[in-house]
Amino acid sequence: MPIWNCAGCGLPWPCRTRQQELRAVYVDAPVSLSLYLSSYLVMAMQDLPGTPAGVLHRRFMEWMREGQPREDNWVRVARRSR
């Protein structure tokens, strides 16, 4: 963990394979997945103090949003005004 690379492939953790595995395990519990990864993000920030927080955030958290539909701001505004 101190270097935060995957033990299987050596790529930065969570690698694509681990991301897919985590999605499958937490398929019905996205909030639990976010909490799990948030705790790992905090540990990685302690182990990798020279790494910018934004880089670690993208690495640990942003991939969860990939492939999910995003609402444009105007869609949210339109929904609120109904």
Q: Cα dihedral angle (20, 57, 30, 9), rounded to 10 degrees?
A: 20
Report whether pLDDT(28) > 80.
yes
Statement: the pTM of the whole predicted model exceeds 0.85: no
Rounded to an integer, what distance in angstroms lies between the CA atom of residue 77 and that of residue 82? 9
Report whether pLDDT(25) > 50.
yes
The CB-side HSE value for 30 (13 A sphere, CA atoms) comes to 6
Average pLDDT, integer, range 11-24: 95
Q: Which two tokens stand for residue 63?
A: 């991939």
Which residues neighbour 54 within 8 Å (Cβ) at sequence distance 6 or greater?
none
